Structures are given as C-alpha cells and as structure tokens.
Chain A
Amino acid sequence: DIQLTQSPSFLSASVGDRVTITCRASQGIASYLAWYQQKPGKAPKLLIYAASTLQSGVPSRFTGSRSGTEFTLTISSLQPEDFASYYCQQVNSFPLTFGGGTKVEIK
C-alpha cells in the first residue's frame, strides 16, 4: 500500500499568513494526488486535484505543487474561513489512501 505522510499534523497561524502543508508518498504516484479541506462536522471538500489543478470555485490563494514524491499545498494568505483540517489523497493505485491530516488553527 502507498503511505502518505502529511506534515505538520497541526499548525497554528494568523490571518494573512502563508501556510505550507506537505504530503510525502512512500512510492511514486505521478501526479495522482488530491487535497481536501474539511471543517468540523462537515464533509470534505475537493480543493486541488492532479497535484496542482484548482477545483472550480476554489479561491486562487490555494495552490498545489509536486516535486517527485513530495507534494505541497500552499495557502498564500490565510483567511478566517481557511481554518480547517486538510487531507491529501493518492488515487494512483488501490487501496486509495489518505494522509493523516493537518489541522490549521488560529494563533
């Protein structure tokens, strides 16, 4: 199975901060990676797919990138509505797997 190691698991940041979350795959997955945002008590929401393509309707402050087996989600200027948990998911091969999640909290 492909393991996704997400870091950090928790981060505290202020409105306006630039935030970076990393997801490292245990083996090559090309660009078959998605990022989801989840707010408490709500379903996850697709933010980015194919490692770097922004889902329709998602603000442009969210960007995704890939370097080999390391993937990054960047929020350029954190907004109040961005305080949430974020998960990466690989869709390269079964079983599909998620990273452990990153909770972004208000500093």
Chain B
Amino acid sequence: EVQLVESGGGLVQPGGSLRLSCAASGFTFSDHYMDWVRQAPGKGLEWVGRIRKKANSYTTEYAASVKGRFTVSRDDSKNSLYLQMNSLKTEDTAVYYCARLWVNYLDFWGQGTLLSVSS
C-alpha cells in the first residue's frame, strides 16, 4: 500500500526556518518525481515545488512565492522527501502535503503537516 507521511510541522516565528519531511513506503520511491503542495487555512490548493528523480539529475521547480526561500530535496536511500523552508513569512502558514507524481499527475498524497508562522 502506498503511504506518504509528512512530519516536522509546527509553530515558527517570522524569519525562521523549518524542515518538513515526507516518509514514503509501498512503492519504489526513487522511480518517482515528488511534489509539495500547500493549503492555507480555509483556502485552496497551491503548488509549491517539485523534485525529479536521479535520472533527471534531481532537478527542481518552484512556485514564485517560495523560490529562493524553499528547497526541495530527497534521499532515495531513506525513501524520504524534504522541504527546507527559510525566511518564513506569515503567509506561509498552511498545511503542507507531499504527493507522488504518476505520469504528470499527483496520484497519492500524504495526510499533511501544519506549519504556523506567527510571532
């Protein structure tokens, strides 16, 4: 069974940093591109970023709102995906989901982890 489990969310002050993790199981993690998507409280979905697989040099893509502040990385040996978030702003407050890419689409999602940025 495919499982994605996010962790690492919490309360951070503006300007702070945090790293989210996503533990994958039930599939060959290294074969898949992976995305992060977030959802602010009571709002819609916002795509955050992507990391491709080793065969594609682990290249990344980012939304303009996070580019230069967030970094997506992965450790295929640990079946884990990460989102390093720096220079956090109050508008980064959201539930963060990791999701598996299948063809071009997000076919499995984790349950999400909540990040709150507040002083």
B27 sits at the interface (CB 8 A): no
A95 & B105 in contact (Cβ 8 Å cutoff): no
Q: Smallest CB–CB gap between B72 and chain A, Å?
A: 13
B107 & A43 in contact (Cβ 8 Å cutoff): no
Q: Smallest CB–CB gap between B101 and chain A, Å?
A: 9
Q: Which range holds the interface residue count of chain B?
A: 20 to 34
B61 & A91 in contact (Cβ 8 Å cutoff): no
- Which residue of A38, A49, A87, A97 is within 8 Å of B103 (Cβ)? A49
Cβ of A36: which chain B residues have Cβ within 8 Å of it? 45, 106
B104 sits at the interface (CB 8 A): yes
Cβ of A97: which chain B residues have Cβ within 8 Å of it? 47
Q: Of the 9-residue stretches B9-17, B77-85, B86-94, B109-117, which lies at the interface with chain A?
A: B109-117
B47 & A49 in contact (Cβ 8 Å cutoff): no
Given A97-B47, A98-B44, also A43-B64 (CB < 8 A): no
Given A43-B112, A94-B61, also A34-B105 (CB < 8 A): yes
Secondary structure dominating the interface of B: strand
- Which residue of A1, A34, A43 is within 8 Å of B110 (Cβ)? A43
Cβ of A89: which chain B residues have Cβ within 8 Å of it? 45, 47, 106
Cβ of B112: which chain A residues have Cβ within 8 Å of it? 43
B18-64 contacts to A (CB < 8 Å): 35, 37, 44-47, 50, 61-64
A64-104 contacts to B (CB < 8 Å): 87, 89, 91, 94-101
Chain A residues with a Cβ under 8 A of chain B: 1, 32, 34, 36, 38, 42-46, 49-50, 55, 87, 89, 91, 94-101
Chain B residues with a Cβ under 8 A of chain A: 35, 37, 44-47, 50, 61-64, 97, 103-107, 109-112
Q: Can you give 25 A-B contacts (C-beta < 8 A)? A: A36-B45, A42-B111, A43-B110, A44-B45, A44-B97, A44-B109, A45-B109, A46-B106, A46-B107, A49-B104, A49-B105, A50-B105, A89-B45, A95-B47, A95-B61, A95-B62, A95-B63, A96-B35, A96-B50, A98-B44, A98-B45, A98-B47, A99-B44, A100-B44, A101-B44
